[in-house]
Structure 1
Amino acid sequence: MPFTTPHRPYDLAAMWPELAALARTAVRLHPRHGDPTAEQSSIGGPLLWPVDEPWPTCSGPHEWNSLQTLDEVFEERRILDLTWGKRMAREPEIFTAEERATLDRIRQAGRNDARQDQIRTAGAPLLPVAQLFTRDVPGLPFRERFDLLQVLWCPYDHPEAEKYEPAVHLRWRDTSRSVLKPVYPDGNTLVGFDDYVPSRCVIAPEEVVEFPDLGLLPPELRESIKATSERVEAFSYSENALAPGWKVNGHGAAWMITDVVDVRCECGAEAKPLLTAATGGMDGLTSTWLPLEERDIAADIEKRYSYSVDVYLGRGYDLQIFHCGLDPEHPPVMEMS
């Protein structure tokens, strides 16, 4: 199903013509719970993987909250998803005895600790985060060389890097040059944070126009916009400039928890926004970015839950993944915002 973002409440380029030269196109992905195949673009779905390429792992050290298998993560979510319907029906007992027993078993402290050595010796298998084909997602970088971008991350924290966020890996592929097969990690794969496991979602890409974060604007323009924000109570620059939720390219996420920085690749080249991984992935349900096709959905709690990608990053922030503007082989740069 295609989605249509409403016109912005305020036309920023008309209000400040100098913004027009700073506009960029972002692609809103609009992820929704589904059952994507490996031949489709998706969030959290199976990947088309070269038959001769081992599944990647991340070497430690790692930190984790509790060890769960992928099967356990998805079974717990399945049960919790059902509770929305039961609450809407006002059933007095939300969980059946069987569901309660399953949740108690999954949540039993230390039940998978005996397998800790697997993580330390063999590394932690990465998880699929996004698979994006150029045929589906306009404007993907390096499209003259590659027709597929795959984003994976490690479902653990990494204390040596002092970053409490998943470590991201990119795979740029020319699908005509490899024999590919559908791959998804085994259900017995251990994860350290269930909040780092994206639910399988189909996507409906939509191009929108974005403008830079306020902190990235020239000082005189920034002060003019601030003056308007103080004078017009209903006006919010960020609400009009930057799309919420999961998206590709554009100007990325608003800088909320740190000061704006000039993001650079390790080679010194400019690092450009590639993918915004949004906590929850709720796609702007309470904002003016809510798609026209779903403007009546915000009050429907049961349906709202199906919007979520089910990742929770930091204290509820977004993870902005940047790529080297010159060389796709260079590792990505991550900033929490």
Structure 2
Amino acid sequence: MPFTSPDRPYDVAALWPALAPLARTAIRLHPRWGRPTADQSSIGGPLLWPLDEPWPTCTAPHEWDVLATLDEVAEHRRIMARAWGPDGAGPLNFSTEDKARRDLINETQTDRTRRTEALAEPAALLPIAQLFTRDVPGLPLRDRFDLLQVLWCPFDHAKDYQPAVQLRWRNTADQPMTAALPPGDTLVGFEDYVPNPCTVAPEPVIEYPDYDLLPPGLADRIQAYGRVTDDFSYRELAVAPGWKVSGHGSLWMLIDGFEVRCECGAEAKPLLNAASRRAGSGAPHWIPVEDGDRLEDAVEIVIGRGADLQIFHCGTDPTHAPVVEMV
């Protein structure tokens, strides 16, 4: 089903016409739990993968919290969902069978983590997003590719303490392809880095730059207006939360915003925002009309302590590695 963002309470471009040329279109993905197939756009679903291409792995040194398998993560989430009940309001109420199974999973993971000093093999990447240009109108490089796949390594990495991201830009007509997923016994270092399989319902919205990326004089005028106007937050009006493509990327919450560059020196443009939460409680005007007052966290990933992982792509060469910032 389609989802519709409500009208924002203020039209910031009408208040400050200098914002108009800075506008960009972002595509909100509105992920919802489902059973996507490999020929559909999805978050965390199976990928349409070339028959002769090995599944990608990460050979960098890894750090982890608890070593779990994908099957264990999925079963644990099913157990927790049953314990919370259909409305998710709690309190937790485990059946005898579920409690025993949950305890066994925890014991197995604790023992595995205690016995493992280093991974015996490179870590398999997980599918994070598969986006077809036919579904996502604002997808970059659509004149050269019809499919974007985003994968990441479900471990921390010493330099950044976040998942390591890889991109695949594809033309699906170029080679035989088939559905692919990592096997259920694939190890992950953080359960929070495993997305649930979700369908997407792309919706274009207009965004404006975060404060740190505005021209200084304009930023000062907007901040002065906010200090004397009740219920006005430029940042919550300008930038959409949640999983989305392109636009101005995520709000810069952990560090000051800056112009991101590729390793080659070219501008790096916002590609995909992987959000720890779909919509923040502080921005009710971004909750889709179809959801009413209900907040939904279908993907169930958490980056850091609830940050977003903003993925940027090189504006000139899609073969260059993405730039990834925890924001």
TM over 0.5: yes
CA contact 1:213–1:241 (8 Å) conserved in 2: yes
- C-alpha distance in 1, partners of 2:211/2:83? 41
Query: 2:88 matched to 1:98?
Result: no
Q: Distance in 1 between matches of 2:106 and 2:32?
A: 27
Displaced runs of 4 or more, over 2 A: 86-91, 109-117, 119-122, 280-286
Identity %: 58
The yes-or-no answer on 1:320 pairing with 2:310 is yes
Q: Distance in 1 between matches of 2:224 and 2:199?
A: 41
| Residue 9 of structure 1 pairs with residue 4 of structure 2 | no
* Unaligned runs of at least 5 residues, structure 2: none
Could you tell me which runs of 5 or more consecutive residues in structure 1 were left unpaired when the two chains were aligned.
Answer: 299-303
CA apart distance, 1:101: 1.0
RMSD (Å), alpha carbons = 1.9
Counterpart contact for 2:245–2:273, Cα < 8 Å:
yes
The alpha-carbon distance between structure 1 residues 260 and 283, as it changes in their structure 2 partners (threshold 3 A), is closer
Aligned residue for 1:288, secondary structure, equals helix
Structure 2 Cα separation of the partners of residues 270 and 16 of structure 1: 26
Change (3 A) 1:90 1:261: closer
d(CA) in 1 for partners of 2:16 and 2:129?
Answer: 35
**Distance change in 2, residues 1:17/1:80 (3 Å):** same
Residue of structure 1 aligned with 2:175, choices 175, 178, 194: 178
Indicate how the Cα distance of structure 1 residues 232 and 146 shifts in structure 2: closer, same or farther if over 3 A, else same: same
Deviations 1:63-113 (A, max 9, x none): 00010000000000001111222677978x711111011111111253324
Q: 1:166 aligns with which of 163, 171, 175?
A: 163
Encode CA deviations 1:142-184: one digit per residue, 9 max, x unaligned. 111110000000000111x2x1110000000000001111011
TM-score normalised by length of structure 2: 0.95
Number of the residue aligned with 1:332: 322
> Contact 1:318 / 1:336 at 8 angstroms: preserved in 2?
yes
CA distance 1:315–1:283, change in 2 (3 Å): closer
Residue 289 (structure 1) aligns with: 286
CA distance in 1, matches of 2:209, 2:154: 30
TM-score, normalisation: structure 1: 0.92
Name the stretch that deviates more: 225-234 or 107-116. 107-116
Contact persistence 2:126–2:153 (CA under 8 A): yes
Matched, 1:151 2:141: no
| Equivalenced residues, count | 326
**Distance change >3 Å, CA 230–CA 153, structure 1 → 2:** same
Moved more, 289-298 or 187-196: 289-298
Structure 2 CA distance for partners of 1:6 and 1:192, relative to 1, 3 Å: same
Give the Cα separation in 1 of the matches to 2:283 and 2:223.
Answer: 23
Q: CA-to-partner distance for each residue in 1:37-88, whole Å, 9 max, x for gaps?
A: 1110000000000010000000031000010000000000001111222677
* Aligned counterpart, 1:85: 85
Asked if the contact 1:244–1:284 (Cα under 8 Å) also holds between the matched residues in 2, the reply is no
SS of residue in 1 equivalent to 2:85:
helix
- Tell whether the 8 Å contact from 2:31 to 2:299 is kept in structure 1 after alignment: yes
Residue identity opposite 1:189 in structure 2:
T
Instruction: Give yes or no for contact 2:83–2:95 (8 Å, CA) kept in 1.
Output: no
Q: Distance in 2 between matches of 1:48 and 1:253?
A: 28
1:115 and 1:328, CA in 2 relative to 1: closer, same or farther beyond 3 A?
farther
Is 1:3–1:291's contact at 8 Å kept on the other side of the alignment? yes
Distance in 2 between residues matched to 1:259 and 1:70, nearest whole Å: 35
Following TM superposition, by how much is the alpha carbon of 1:293 offset from its aligned partner in structure 2, in angstroms?
1.4
1:227–1:283 CA distance, 2 compared to 1 (3 A): closer
* CA distance in structure 2 between the aligned counterparts of 1:182 and 1:212, rounded to whole angstroms: 38
Match of 2:269 among 269, 272, 288: 272
Match of 1:309 in 2: 299
**Which of 182, 186, 189 is the matching residue for 2:186?**
189
Secondary structure at the aligned position of 1:182 is classed as strand
The 3-state SS of whatever aligns with 2:173 is helix
Cα distance in 1 between the residues matched to 2:278 and 2:104: 28
